A and B are shown apart, each in its own frame.
Chain A
């Protein structure tokens, strides 16, 4: 193997690798703006200048191939001077509006100005003036003055999103970005450019001016928008989710996520239509809030009125593996019903070969593996709906889904039920018909696991407090405000929903039937799963870790698993 020396350390490399790739792989930081591991090399920012012995000029590490015997100095005086000059050039026309810039706190120009700047400016001329608020598309806002013309966004659009929608116009320091005539920057992945933009030139119109980044906590989670299961960070301020950003996972979503996931998959957590306590329909009219104990005893007494084959259970591909597992166990051991299934949410019209999957749920495979399927001649979902129509099924338990929204026919049939028990996060068409409603915690308020279309099991973690969850006691991630704010701040007086993980509610109901289910945490359930279901054999939360793990029997699944 050829060997390159970087900062006096020797590294082996494959031919064709650039200096920055070798350095990155070995944990050596070479400052850069315009380089991205997944995009073509443009070499325009000049920030990655390094000194190579026997080369007369500084070279850029992003495009210079590593050679056998090459000796690279990242931090020689000459290299540092070169980077300081580049920093000086980048800053002369950059507006100093960090105090109102969304990027502040996660801005590479800021970071490198501290690390590589000279700390003073020799520029006393008038700065360039350019457009400040250009709507490039539905989600992305462009500030031309902040732009350092690194071309990452243009390359991302062309190479990853595969849609050429904008480009540079003008020359010299007048250079700026424009969408092509008649085009909008509206591809399904447009917001990724906000993440890769090294400065505050491109901002998320859904998030801009909402929060300083250091005032938010970030929690590693999984996007529930489709069966891809993109790894994400949930950013929370004052117990409210303000944005989602993709989290690098080479096996699942690489560095990216789609705009649908980013924009539409968190607002329901903070929405006004959240179900905020258990509710019971009294005297055949409206539902009204009741305490947990009352709702549970009402549920127990209701269920006891029916024979087991009059009861059906619908699990959920939106719920975690643990929820579904406990529901299946409850159906088996308490309800003794074989009628159990879940609803598929497939939209073949909305998929691509980048990230977006036709299965619009995060855990179809997990729900199936957890035992949500008709047992020994039990009814599947369509048969359950037939049974409700024919009044053979008289009691339906539904978790985290909206069966009434699927068709008018279903909606009409549901009124045939004697009893309809719904676990839901938000009000929907099914909760409107329900006799008993339990408030379920959303994916952002609980621990648990999803299995994506590849058969990869991944962890979600609580980012938002409910009444039952405490940020410090439950080891949730903390922001600066969480740690140092006082009770006199507006901070901390946030709304907390009275909701619980679905499994916890099922557990309480089951134990009211004098079962002795004994789980303190979702991981307790998961450990039982790992002992009883072969696909999960030997797994625990620690093994799944931050990036998930491939289920053994689902190795190398490339195509979607239609469950």
Chain B
């Protein structure tokens, strides 16, 4: 049986008594016997990378929090999990909520947060209830809140609240998530300032993914070194791979980083129905660049290996598409999602997502031309890097890379010629009295 850190084959492990029988909440007692900085160092040693998609080193993120304990500090656990193809945090809420809670307590202690929010997407009605039950049980036994002092014989206390999302993908973006908790419109904030300086209600805040935090108790229990040796050294640990699409056994599989993609698909998830060939795999949720079927042989699933083939690990949501998949339709559907979810705050994403969708729909209607494909890539490039948050990239990457990597399929769907109404181009490049810095005069 593969190594289990996050999801364990123990019956009723979600119940607090079962969790306690297996050593639960003792790790926190061990943690408070150390100094907060020692906890952070241990996590740094483990080389744990954020599981929300950006793979930012968790210990380093914690170390950005000011050490000054005179002001309020906050911890937010991001369980907004809204990326299509991503459904891993749900399993933790259902099957291992207390490890998440214990991880939250340890993290709160490490960074000095007196208040923690677990932000769960509103559509997870059942999982919000399950999580709330687990929290209530932990409160009842004195593991959270004021009674922590007696329970763990320590000076530290913290409160944990569940905050329900209201149906916006963008609230999974960490600064929009904070605005959402504050009761504001879910708009991402302009960075800098970063959350560790100015976060929730303008106080220092750390935001971590559910899966990231669920790793923490085991790291503290077994040591950073132990964890750093699991899987790929540069991206250690186990990942929850959510496998979906054209697959015989869709589901969430906990496997060490560096597991072969082909192993995940064929060994664990039962292969492709009808033994069809694979045309395309999206490795980490729909915002990640897709991989061609001819790239998957020997491909390891970890941040570095995926980067090497021009994609990224994202949230580990693997979407498998067989040889009969209509990628134009897939791309239009993905683009519709980001169009629908763009918050509308900043110009490139607000306008660009709708534009890309309309062009793709036109291509689906058989009215596209090959110039439209170049236009789509151009729009995607113009969104990328010009927006307040990463939703710009999330919308641009699928368009850009799906067309680039499956250009032949797209070309087959569009006409060859187009007459675009082009006005006279009347402008020079120069806009002011000052000469262009890029052009050497004389």
For the complex formed, measure the closest distance between the CB of A42 and the CB atoms of chain B, giving whole angstroms. 7
Within A296-339, the residues touching B (CB, 8 Å) are none
A81-122 interface code vs B (CB 8 A; 1 in, 0 out)? 010011011101100000000000000000000111111111
Do the beta carbons of A125 and B346 come within 8 Å of each other? no
Q: Which residues of B contact A47 (CB under 8 A)?
A: 347
Q: Which of A170-178, A196-204, A211-219, A394-402 contacts B (4 or more CB under 8 A)?
A: A170-178
Do the beta carbons of B340 and A172 come within 8 Å of each other? yes
Q: Which of B342, B348, B375, B424 contacts A46 (CB 8 A)?
A: B348
Q: Is A141 an interface residue (CB 8 A)?
A: no
Do the beta carbons of A118 and B425 come within 8 Å of each other? yes
21 A-B residue pairs with CB within 8 Å: A7-B434, A42-B345, A43-B190, A58-B385, A73-B438, A76-B437, A76-B438, A77-B439, A78-B438, A85-B386, A88-B382, A89-B348, A93-B354, A119-B424, A125-B355, A149-B350, A171-B170, A171-B344, A172-B344, A173-B342, A175-B343
Q: Is B432 an interface residue (CB 8 A)?
A: yes
Q: Which residues of B contact A120 (CB under 8 A)?
A: 422-425
Identify the interface centre among B425, B429, B435, B438: most chain A CB within 10 Å of its CB. Answer: B438
Q: Is B15 an interface residue (CB 8 A)?
A: no
- Consensus secondary structure, chain B interface: loop
Do the beta carbons of A49 and B386 come within 8 Å of each other? yes
Instruction: Other than A120-B422, A128-B354, A148-B347, give 8 A-B pairs with Cβ distance below 8 A.
Output: A8-B437, A43-B388, A58-B386, A78-B438, A85-B348, A89-B382, A119-B424, A172-B353
Q: Which residues of A contact B192 (CB under 8 A)?
A: 63, 65
Q: Is A254 an interface residue (CB 8 A)?
A: no
A57's closest neighbor in chain B, by CB? B385
Bound form: Cα–Cα A175–B339 in Å: 12
Q: Is A460 an interface residue (CB 8 A)?
A: no
Do the beta carbons of B431 and A172 come within 8 Å of each other? no
Within B344-377, the residues touching A (CB, 8 Å) are 344-348, 350-355, 358-359, 362, 375
Q: Is A494 an interface residue (CB 8 A)?
A: no
For the complex formed, measure the closest distance between the CB of A65 and the CB atoms of chain B, giving whole angstroms. 8
Q: Which of B168, B387, B421, B431 contacts A124 (CB 8 A)?
A: B421
Do the beta carbons of B362 and A125 come within 8 Å of each other? yes
Q: Is A44 an interface residue (CB 8 A)?
A: yes
Q: Which of B351, B353, B358, B437 contacts A7 (CB 8 A)?
A: B437
Q: Is B341 an interface residue (CB 8 A)?
A: yes
Q: How many residues of A contact B (CB 8 A)?
A: 55
Q: Is A517 an interface residue (CB 8 A)?
A: no
For the complex formed, measure the closest distance between the CB of A86 and the CB atoms of chain B, giving whole angstroms. 5
Residues A173 and B347 in contact in the complex (CB < 8 Å), given A82-B386, A118-B425, A119-B426? no
Residues A63 and B190 in contact in the complex (CB < 8 Å), given A29-B432, A168-B185? yes
Cβ-closest 10 pairs across A and B: A175-B344, A43-B190, A85-B382, A89-B351, A125-B358, A172-B342, A173-B354, A77-B438, A120-B423, A57-B385
Q: Is A70 an interface residue (CB 8 A)?
A: no
Bound form: Cα–Cα A85–B379 in Å: 8
Within B60-95, the residues touching A (CB, 8 Å) are none
Q: Which of A49, A77, A85, A174 contacts B344 (CB 8 A)?
A: A174
Q: Which residues of A contact B375 (CB under 8 A)?
A: 122
Do the beta carbons of A80 and B350 come within 8 Å of each other? no
Q: Which residues of A contact B435 (CB under 8 A)?
A: 75
Q: Which of B185, B346, B426, B439 contacts A43 (CB 8 A)?
A: B346
A176's closest neighbor in chain B, by CB? B344
Residues A173 and B358 in contact in the complex (CB < 8 Å), given A41-B190, A76-B437, A124-B421? no
Within B29-53, the residues touching A (CB, 8 Å) are none
Q: Which residues of A contact B339 (CB under 8 A)?
A: 172-173
Bound form: Cα–Cα A424–B354 in Å: 61
Bound form: Cα–Cα A93–B347 in Å: 11
Q: Is B436 an interface residue (CB 8 A)?
A: yes
For the complex formed, measure the closest distance between the CB of A131 and the CB atoms of chain B, giving whole angstroms. 16
Do the beta carbons of A75 and B355 come within 8 Å of each other? no
Identify the interface centre among B170, B344, B439: most chain A CB within 10 Å of its CB. Answer: B344
Do the beta carbons of A173 and B351 come within 8 Å of each other? yes
Do the beta carbons of A80 and B431 come within 8 Å of each other? yes
Q: Which residues of A contact B346 (CB under 8 A)?
A: 43-46
Bound form: Cα–Cα A76–B190 in Å: 23
Do the beta carbons of A173 and B427 come within 8 Å of each other? no
For the complex formed, measure the closest distance between the CB of B28 and the CB atoms of chain A, giving whole angstroms. 39
Do the beta carbons of B343 and A172 come within 8 Å of each other? yes
Q: Which residues of A contact B351 (CB under 8 A)?
A: 89-90, 92-93, 173
Q: Is B420 an interface residue (CB 8 A)?
A: yes
Residues A123 and B347 in contact in the complex (CB < 8 Å), given A46-B387, A76-B436, A172-B339? no
Do the beta carbons of B341 and A122 come within 8 Å of each other? no
Bound form: Cα–Cα A86–B349 in Å: 10
For the complex formed, measure the closest distance between the CB of B98 and the CB atoms of chain A, giving whole angstroms. 36
For the complex formed, measure the closest distance between the CB of A58 and the CB atoms of chain B, giving whole angstroms. 7
Q: Which of A90, A118, A124, A126 contacts B347 (CB 8 A)?
A: A90
Do the beta carbons of A73 and B437 come within 8 Å of each other? yes
Do the beta carbons of A125 and B343 come within 8 Å of each other? no
Bound form: Cα–Cα A90–B386 in Å: 13
Bound form: Cα–Cα A93–B168 in Å: 23
Q: Is A22 an interface residue (CB 8 A)?
A: no
B252-294 interface code vs A (CB 8 A; 1 in, 0 out)? 0000000000000000000000000000000000000000000
B158-169 interface code vs A (CB 8 A; 1 in, 0 out)? 000000000010
Within A160-174, the residues touching B (CB, 8 Å) are 167-168, 170-174
Q: Which residues of B contact A63 (CB under 8 A)?
A: 190, 192
Q: Which residues of B contact A171 (CB under 8 A)?
A: 168, 170, 340-344
Q: Is A340 an interface residue (CB 8 A)?
A: no
Do the beta carbons of B190 and A42 come within 8 Å of each other? yes
Do the beta carbons of B421 and A46 come within 8 Å of each other? no
Q: Is A52 an interface residue (CB 8 A)?
A: no
A47's closest neighbor in chain B, by CB? B347
Q: Which residues of B contact A42 (CB under 8 A)?
A: 190, 345
Within A25-64, the residues touching B (CB, 8 Å) are 29, 41-47, 49, 57-58, 60, 63
Do the beta carbons of A44 and B347 come within 8 Å of each other? yes
Bound form: Cα–Cα A170–B168 in Å: 11
Q: Which residues of B contact A93 (CB under 8 A)?
A: 351, 354
For the complex formed, measure the closest distance between the CB of B440 and the CB atoms of chain A, giving whole angstroms. 12
Do the beta carbons of A172 and B347 come within 8 Å of each other? no
Q: Which residues of A contact B354 (CB under 8 A)?
A: 93, 128, 172-173
For the complex formed, measure the closest distance between the CB of B147 and the CB atoms of chain A, giving whole angstroms. 40
Bound form: Cα–Cα A3–B386 in Å: 26
